Chain A
């Protein structure tokens, strides 16, 4: 513990060490080298460092902290784009028949074999392949495919695929729509599918919420600025 405390004492500002270093080290040899002493010396070093900072220094450190938080949030929450195609459903049977036919097609299109083929042909999840099994990649892809009705009264439905690259998102959505048409072609059903809206190229990401992340970074900057200013004021008043 003595060595740890001596190391912590080196955290004091250099100018302070030049003036008080010898006598401070002599005092550290006399006191009990426990965790409380280490914490007190650490607190003293931090207070002395911050107490020496100018206002612009505190502002700069807080700004760097805020920028680091924003950068970290953006790295931890990469951009995700969503492309959507709308498929028109026509049929001579009842709406219930159409729904059954669509559910059968969804099961086949979202089946492991079909998705594994898409992962290979469209070269998806390249960086994830080294740390995830194919089954895990398929599960991840299934979570990124959304098939939803476009209106409560119609059987028409939308196929949405989310991906980090907008062009790949569009391409995979197109492939999924074509697979629906293919499954419709081989199925023995009176339901007919056609592409009503082809997949669009997404212009902006659906995630992350960029203004929210920027706001969090700004809040961290303000909190750090306030905390450092308070510590400096306390250190100057002599209660540190």
Chain B
């Protein structure tokens, strides 16, 4: 899974985070280090699609949260991915 949008949504699934916190979190759970340009490219598209939104903050570091549509989309994508992973592993075991 290397789609930056999916990684950002997954990172926000357990709570609000700002950009740098997302980068650190994504590196922890996926081993991938997203650059600032890649991260904000994904944030821009996700906000345009209504899947994340900014949270009020006094800090220059803007936190984001998942919307209900974003949570739904993430759930669908992860379930699809889960089916693919399970199917692939099952086929490997029987090969």
Contacts and interface: CB of A to CB of B under 8 A. Distances in A.
A24 B61 CA distance: 8
Interface stretch (A29-37, A85-93, A125-133, A162-170): A29-37
B18 interface: yes
B68 interface: no
Contacts of B36: 24, 27-28, 31, 37, 40-41, 44
A44 B37 contact: yes
Chain B interface, DSSP helix/strand/loop, else mixed = helix
Contacts of B62: 22-23, 26
Contact of B35 (A26, A37, A236, A238): A37
A44 B38 CA distance: 6
A238 B40 contact: no
Contacts of B41: 44, 47-48, 235, 238, 240
Interface string B38-54: 11111111000000000
Contacts of B45: 236, 238
B66 interface: no
A27 B35 contact: no
B5 interface: yes
B40 A24 contact: yes
A239 interface: yes
Chain A interface, DSSP helix/strand/loop, else mixed = helix
Contact of A20 (B4, B20, B44): B44
A30 B20 contact: yes
B28 to A, nearest CB: 16
Given A23-B18, A40-B36, A48-B44, A31 B3 contact: no
Contacts of A22: 60, 62
Interface of B: 3-5, 18-20, 23, 35-45, 59-62
10 contacts: A16-B44, A22-B62, A23-B61, A26-B59, A27-B19, A27-B40, A36-B35, A40-B35, A43-B37, A238-B45
Interface of A: 16, 20, 22-28, 30-31, 36-37, 39-45, 47-48, 235-236, 238-240
Given A28-B36, A43-B38, A236-B45, 20 more contacts: A20-B40, A23-B60, A24-B36, A24-B40, A26-B59, A27-B18, A27-B20, A27-B23, A27-B39, A30-B61, A37-B36, A40-B35, A41-B36, A43-B37, A44-B38, A44-B40, A44-B41, A238-B4, A238-B45, A239-B3
